[in-house]
A and B are shown apart, each in its own frame.
Chain A
Amino acid sequence: MLSMQTFYSSLFSPKVNQASSFQALLQVARASLKEILAVRSTLAWDTWDAS
């Protein structure tokens, strides 16, 4: 598990994010709050209905 600070440094490092798994996560960080809210998770363990 990456530490939070290591993750942050990797996510915003030009060297790392060019060719790594962080590209998609970087796109999330560059999205607007509106875009994130539109598709935010609705899963929660006390409300996730089985039906």
Chain B
Amino acid sequence: MGLYEESIQSLLQHPTVKNWVELGQAIERAAARQLVAWHFPIKACEAVGVPAQNALPAVAAITCAHMAIILIDDLLDEDPRGAHLRIGIGRAANLAVGLNTLGIRILLEAKDCKERVRAAAALNEMMQRTAYGQDLDVQNAQTEEAYWAVTQSKSSPFFAAALYIGALFGSANPETALQLKHFGEIFGEIMQIHDDLNDTLISPANVDWLKGRSPLPILFAQLVQHPERERFIQLRTQVEDPKALEEAQSILVRCGAISYCINELISRHKQAASLLGEMRLSDPQPLIQLLEEAIAPIRHLFTAVGADLIEENN
């Protein structure tokens, strides 16, 4: 049994889960899809030179927290893939709270970790910051400043907490634990920009287009004074028509919105790589690999359009 499966089994054996059928079913579904974010505590332990086994409670807690965030996110976005459509809004909300509190409880019950209270506090803080970010997000930010405030509240805390809690379970020194947390914050911004690029370039138009929300490329095309701005704003209301969506997406390319997002990705990649260079880690490779995977799509894009390597372009 792998480490991830082991952490899921520990959740399924928890008395809270045994008494709550829907909670158990949600956790069983998590066993079938191992998201990279759920492995962050393992990567932190490996990076500080401690056996990955130490991270098991942290993996379980982060998995719970992420499932709770997705449940709430889908509710807020009225996402057609959301569990609320299957089990109802009330039960989805209850499940999210159940997962949140289960994650904290798992950390507090990890008797072998002397930093378990600090870890539980970090998870709690993450959920609070994320909730604040979600609340800012539903108010549909329409300025650059508001966009970055939402990103730093909504996306960064999760990755920061996942690495930080992993570091605590790996008995990292406090300075390294905080550096890993900061690395996670930057990584969260990278993931949000990727998310926004995906949401914007997908076809047919997804909920962001249809609900008038403003992921980063759309915000750029709406705010910046460029020759096709008025046409873009007009097309935004017609994106259920595939031709209108395609024209709007083409404007995003031509007006520099996609280039802007890529520039922001490259900037954060450099920032994270620089921070990684400052850390005293036993093995930075797991984090180097994460960064490499996050920048790989940009490398591919640059190659496809005949551009220079990104290292030469900053």
Binding site for B on A (CB under 8 A): 1-5, 7-8, 11-12, 21-33, 35-51
User: A19–B260 Cα gap in the complex (Å)?
Assistant: 18
User: Chain B's nearest CB lies how many Å from the CB of A19?
Assistant: 12
Chain B residues with CB under 8 A of A41: 194, 197-198, 297-298
Given contacts A1-B264, A4-B260, A41-B197, contact A31 B253 (CB under 8 A): yes
Chain B residues with CB under 8 A of A40: 197-198, 201, 297, 301
Residue B164 is within 8 A (CB to CB) of chain A in the complex: no
Count of B interface residues, CB-CB < 8 Å: 60
Closest A residue by C-beta to B225: A5
9 A-B pairs with least C-beta separation = A24-B307, A41-B297, A25-B259, A45-B191, A43-B194, A50-B36, A24-B313, A31-B305, A27-B307
B253, A28: Cβ atoms under 8 Å?
yes
Binding site for A on B (CB under 8 A): 4, 33-39, 66, 70, 73, 144, 148, 155, 158-159, 188, 191-192, 194-195, 197-198, 201, 219-220, 223-226, 246, 249-250, 253-256, 258-260, 262-264, 267, 293-294, 297-298, 300-302, 304-308, 310, 312-314
A48, B307: Cβ atoms under 8 Å?
no
B256, A11: Cβ atoms under 8 Å?
yes
Given contacts A5-B223, A27-B305, A49-B35, contact A43 B198 (CB under 8 A): yes
